[in-house]
Each structure stands twice: as structure tokens, then as C-alpha cells.
């Protein structure tokens, strides 16, 4: 990217993902050094950013995620003895366990996402009950714990691998991919015990290059929307704060519990069925419900879906440069009403905006992780420089930057 030439602290800007052949070769090399022989193939799935529509997938809302060029790479080979053997570049000790021993809460840590997919595919009838197991070696270019959905990338890469190795010809058409989305969500919710909403798995399996998806999490509709950033002289800059983020620590689940309680009080299946914040507040007041925390959470859920709907309309009209105020309002709502931001996130968002970003917001589950900024191409060096200076001034972890060029969905490499 020529506009970064001579720019600030280039060593800290992970601008391009490594090339695909290099990443695939790393997964293969890890496979060869951990297990005997060669894999049956290599598959990969992307991490994700989300343009807008945060923390609304589990309330039937609208979100606009896109696949990152950074992907997680899996070298995979079937077994016949009912064992799973899993190894990752980040944790080179092989994890081994029986397929039939996989259950809620077991295994723990990263193997849960892979073992969970095997379990869920069997539960959904997409793998035979007597499935013989699999060896998997993982190399990930999706930064871990950065709120960029490295776990869904793991799940979805294995799901497509097993669908290709064991499924019918239709298992990777649109309906087949939707069935894999469902299985991957079950793996995450029921085995890894993360109460997440499904946006990440949907985009990993349905993404389209150059597009974001408009997910209607009420109707289930998935519509690609063109995101011609380059042609509009724009860059979507992902800023990884490098502050640790964890979804399984109860905060995410706690948010979900509150908005689901609100939906029950309002006697609707999800908050999506409520037309406006005023309507929700009025109806809750009539029920004698005035808990300020509940009202703030509801206000975020309803207003964020309205913003995501407005952003989708701007994209349809090709008005990308006008997205900024919606991104800013999303961040304010996530910070003030949903309370899922953090000092590090607020700091990079403020710095990016002061340096000329058109809009900026935290992305993903929050409590650390990453933010994104919509930036005119020429302003990228100034924005990255300002973000680095602002974090240095507060002695916060040094952020890293990714160029969120919308990439393709999970697929076979070789």
C-alpha cells in the first residue's frame, strides 16, 4: 500500500495477511511434524469485522459483518479409531480425546471449538454416529482474543473440511452452508459454553469478496451488499488494541440475559419486534418496569438495529462516505447504554476520530479486542500515527492495524 510508505511505525502495522500458500504450508508443516504423514487437504475460514449492528444478533437485529482477509488454516485427515488429535501453532502440544467423550464443557479452551463442531455435526445428522475421528493441525492468521472471531474461523474451517470429506455434493451449497452455520453455533453455545449469537459463523460461511452481509437475525435473511471501499477512496481500518478480551467471562452472557428478560416482559420473541425505543420504554413503564440498566440495554438493542438498517440503505445507495455518524453513534451506544467498551477501545476510537477518521467504533463482543475506523485513504497515516501516540501517552498496549478488505468465505485450499 503505497500510501503507507514512509508512514509511522510500519513494523507495528500488520497491513497484509501472509500469503495464502505460505499460511497453508504452515498448517501442513505443523501437521507433518505433529502427526505421521500428510493431511487429506487444507481448508481455511476468515475472521470477521462488523461494519455496524453490534450485540444485536441475539435479539433478532440487523448486522453488517464482513470477512477479513486474515484466515485460520486447518490441515485435516480423517481417522478410523474414534479419536480426535488437535494441534495448533499457538499451543504446540497435541490435544487428544475420544469423539464420544465430547460433552458440554469438555474439552476446555481452543479444542472445544473443534471437538464441538464434530459433536454438533453428529448431533445434526451431518456426520455418521460412528464417526471415526480426525487429526487437525491449525495455523491462524486471525489474531487470537482480538474480538475478530478467531473461534468461529476455527469452527467453520473444520465444518467445511468435514462437509467436503464426508458430506454429499450439496453440503457446500447455500442451504448446506446454512446447516453448517447452525452446527457451528451449537458447538460454540453447547460445548464451548459461549452464549454467542451466530453473526460470526454466518459470515465465515456465507461471506462474499468485496461485500459485507446484511444479516436479518429475525427472518434469517442473508443478503450480500457491495462494499466498494477502494473505489470510494476509503479504508476500513481495524485497530486491535491488544488488550485481552474474553467472552466466556460472564459479561456477554449477562447482557444477553437482560435483553431476553426485556423481551419476555414485553411478550415478544425478540426485541426486534418492538418498533422504537419510545414504544419499548412506554410499554415497560406501563408494566411498572423502570430499572435504568434494563432500559439502557433495551435502548441499545433497538437503536443499534435502526442504525444498522440505515447503514444498509446507505450502502445500497452507494453512499459509503456518509456512514461515519452511524459508526460514531454505535460506539456511543455500546459505551454508554450497553457498557461493553473499555478504556483501550474508547482511547483508540477517540484518537482515530480526532485525527480525521470519518467514523469509528468498537467491534465484536467488546471488553477489549478491536475497533474499526472508516478512513479516507490519504488520512490513514495520520490516523494510525495518532492512535499509536494516544496509546503511548496513556501507557496502554501498542495497537496493531489490519486492512479490512472484505474477503471470501470458508473454503478448501488444497
The residues that are catalytic are: 200
Question: Other CB atoms closer than 10 Å to residue 239's CB: what's the count?
Answer: 30
Burial pattern 376-394, b for ≥16 Cβ within 10 A else e, equals: bbebbbbbbebbbebbeee
Q: For residue 65, give the 3-state DSSP assignment.
A: strand
Choosing from 135, 141, 200, 344, the residue that interacts with ligand GLA (CB under 6 A) is 200
Part in contact with ligand GLA (CB under 6 A); list of ranges 51-59, 162-170, 217-225, 269-277: 51-59
In the structure grid, which three cell numbers stand for residue 61, read together? 437485529
Hey, what's the cell of 364?
Answer: 465484536
In this complex, which beta carbon is closest to ligand GLA, that of residue 17 or of residue 365? 365
Q: Answer yes or no: are the C-beta atoms of 353 and 360 closer than 8 Å.
A: yes
300 counts as binding ligand GLA under rule CB under 6 A: no
Contacting range for ligand GLA; rule: CB under 6 A; set: 34-42, 71-79, 196-204, 226-234: 196-204
Q: Which positions ≥6 away from 200 have C-beta within 8 Å?
A: 48, 65, 149, 151, 152
Contact window for ligand GLA (CB under 6 A) among 55-63, 118-126, 211-219, 328-336: 55-63
Q: Nearest approach, Cβ of 402 to ligand GLA (angstroms)? A: 16
Sort strands 91-98 and 211-216 into parallel, antiparallel or unpaired: unpaired
Distance CA 62, CA 37 (A): 45
Q: Is residue 149 within the footprint of ligand GLA (CB under 6 A)?
A: yes
Applying CB under 6 A, among 198, 359, 368, 406 the residue interacting with ligand GLA is 198
Q: Which is nearer to ligand GLA, 7 or 145 (CB)?
A: 145
In angstroms, the CA 45 to CA 24 distance is 12
The yes or no reply on residue 365 touching ligand GLA (CB under 6 A) is yes
Of the two residues 87 and 158, which places its CB atom closer to ligand GLA in the complex?
Answer: 158
Task: Pick the stretch among 53-61, 71-79, 207-215, 370-378 that binds ligand GLA (CB under 6 A).
Answer: 53-61
| Segment holding 299, helix H or strand E | helix 292-316
Residue 215: what are its φ and ψ, rounded to 5°? Answer: -95, 125
**Least gap, CB of 200 to ligand GLA (angstroms):** 5
Q: Is 47 in the site for ligand GLA (CB under 6 A)?
A: no
Nearest approach in angstroms of CB 168 to ligand GLA is 28
Taking CB under 6 A as the criterion, the residue among 39, 42, 46, 54 binding ligand GLA is 54
In this complex, which beta carbon is closest to ligand GLA, that of residue 50 or of residue 347?
A: 50
Query: 345 to 364, contacts with ligand GLA by CB under 6 A?
Result: 364
Q: With residue 352 as reference, give the H or E element that holds it.
A: helix 343-354
Which residues, including other chains, have CB under 8 Å from residue 124's CB and lie 6 or more apart?
A: 179, 182, 183, 186
The window from 195-203, 265-273, 354-362, 404-412 that contacts ligand GLA (CB under 6 A) reads 195-203
Q: CA dihedral in degrees (67, 69, 71, 75; nearest 10)? A: 120
Work out which of 86, 112, 134, 199 binds ligand GLA, going by CB under 6 A. Answer: 199
Q: How far is the CB of 94 from ligand GLA (least distance, A)?
A: 27
Count of CB atoms within 10 A of residue 407's CB?
A: 20
For residues 159 and 382, which CB has a smaller minimum distance to ligand GLA in the complex?
A: 159
Q: How far is Cα 76 from Cα 162, in angstroms, rounded to an integer?
A: 9
Residue from the set 17, 39, 107, 197 that interacts with ligand GLA by CB under 6 A:
197
Select the span of 12-20, 158-166, 193-201, 379-387 touching ligand GLA (CB under 6 A): 193-201
C-alpha–C-alpha distance, residues 187 and 181, integer Å: 10
Whether residue 196 contacts residue 247, with contact meaning beta carbons closer than 8 Å, is answered with yes
Instruction: Confirm or reject binding of residue 369 to ligand GLA (CB under 6 A).
Output: no
Using the rule CB under 6 A, which residue among 23, 196, 240, 347 binds ligand GLA? 196
Instruction: Return the C-alpha cell found at 57.
Output: 444478533
Q: Any bridge partners for residue 373, and if so which? A: 237, 360
205 binds ligand GLA (CB under 6 A): no
Which CB, 137 or 191, lies closer to ligand GLA? 191
Our finding on whether 107 is near ligand GLA (CB under 6 A) is no
The DSSP call for residue 17 is P
Which letter does DSSP use for residue 375 in this model? E
Q: Is the Cβ of residue 135 or residue 216 nearer to ligand GLA in the bound state?
A: 216
**Count of residues in contact with ligand GLA, rule CB under 6 A:** 12
Closer of 57 and 216 to ligand GLA (Cβ)? 57
Binding positions for ligand GLA, rule: CB under 6 A? 54-55, 57-58, 149, 196-200, 364-365
Amino acid at each position: 500500500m503505497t500510501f503507507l510508505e514512509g508512514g509511522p511505525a510500519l513494523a507495528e502495522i500488520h497491513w497484509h495477511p501472509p500469503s495464502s500458500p505460505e499460511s497453508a504450508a504452515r498448517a501442513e508443516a505443523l501437521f507433518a511434524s505433529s502427526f505421521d504423514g500428510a493431511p487429506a487437504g487444507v481448508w481455511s475460514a476468515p475472521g470477521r469485522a462488523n461494519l455496524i449492528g453490534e450485540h444485536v444478533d441475539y435479539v433478532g437485529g440487523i448486522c453488517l459483518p464482513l470477512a477479513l482477509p486474515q484466515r485460520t488454516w486447518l490441515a485435516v485427515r480423517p481417522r478410523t479409531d474414534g479419536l480426535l488429535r488437535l494441534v495448533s501453532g499457538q499451543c504446540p502440544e497435541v490435544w487428544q480425546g475420544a469423539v464420544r467423550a465430547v460433552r458440554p464443557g469438555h474439552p476446555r479452551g481452543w479444542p472445544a471449538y473443534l471437538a464441538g463442531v464434530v459433536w454438533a455435526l453428529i448431533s445434526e445428522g451431518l456426520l455418521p454416529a460412528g464417526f471415526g475421528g480426525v487429526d487437525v493441525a491449525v495455523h491462524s492468521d486471525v489474531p487470537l482474543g482480538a474480538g475478530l472471531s478467531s473461534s468461529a474461523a476455527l469452527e467453520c474451517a473444520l465444518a467445511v473440511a468435514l462437509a467436503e470429506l464426508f458430506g454429499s455434493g450439496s453440503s457446500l451449497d447455500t442451504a448446506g452452508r446454512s446447516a453448517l452455520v447452525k452446527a457451528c453455533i451449537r458447538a460454540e453455545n453447547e460445548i464451548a459454553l459461549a452464549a454467542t449469537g451466530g453473526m460470526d459463523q454466518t459470515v465465515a460461511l456465507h461471506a462474499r469478496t468485496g461485500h459485507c452481509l446484511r444479516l436479518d437475525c429475525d427472518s434469517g435473511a442473508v443478503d450480500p451488499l457491495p462494499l466498494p471501499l477502494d473505489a470510494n477512496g476509503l479504508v476500513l481500518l481495524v485497530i486491535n488494541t491488544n488488550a485481552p478480551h474474553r467472552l466466556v467471562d460472564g459479561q456477554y452472557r449477562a447482557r444477553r440475559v437482560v435483553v431476553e428478560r426485556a423481551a419476555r416482559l414485553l411478550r415478544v420473541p425478540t426485541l426486534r419486534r418492538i418498533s422504537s425505543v419510545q414504544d419499548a420504554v412506554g410499554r415497560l413503564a406501563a408494566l411498572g418496569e423502570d430499572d435504568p440498566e434494563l432500559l439502557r440495554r433495551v435502548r441499545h438493542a433497538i437503536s443499534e438495529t435502526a442504525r444498522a438498517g440505515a447503514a444498509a440503505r446507505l450502502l445500497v445507495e452507494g453512499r459509503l462516505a456518509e456512514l461515519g455518524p452511524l459508526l460514531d453513534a454505535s460506539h456511543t451506544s455500546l459505551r454508554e447504554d450497553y457498557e461493553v467498551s473499555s478504556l483501550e477501545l474508547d482511547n483508540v476510537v477517540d484518537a482515530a476520530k480526532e485525527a480525521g477518521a470519518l467514523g469509528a467504533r468498537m467491534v465484536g463482543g467488546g471488553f477489549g479486542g478491536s475497533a474499526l475506523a472508516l478512513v479516507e485513504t490519504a488520512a490513514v497515516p495520520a490516523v494510525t500515527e495518532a492512535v499509536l501516540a494516544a496509546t503511548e501517552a496513556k501507557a496502554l498496549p501498542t495497537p496493531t492495524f489490519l486492512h479490512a478488505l472484505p474477503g471470501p468465505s470458508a473454503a478448501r485450499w488444497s
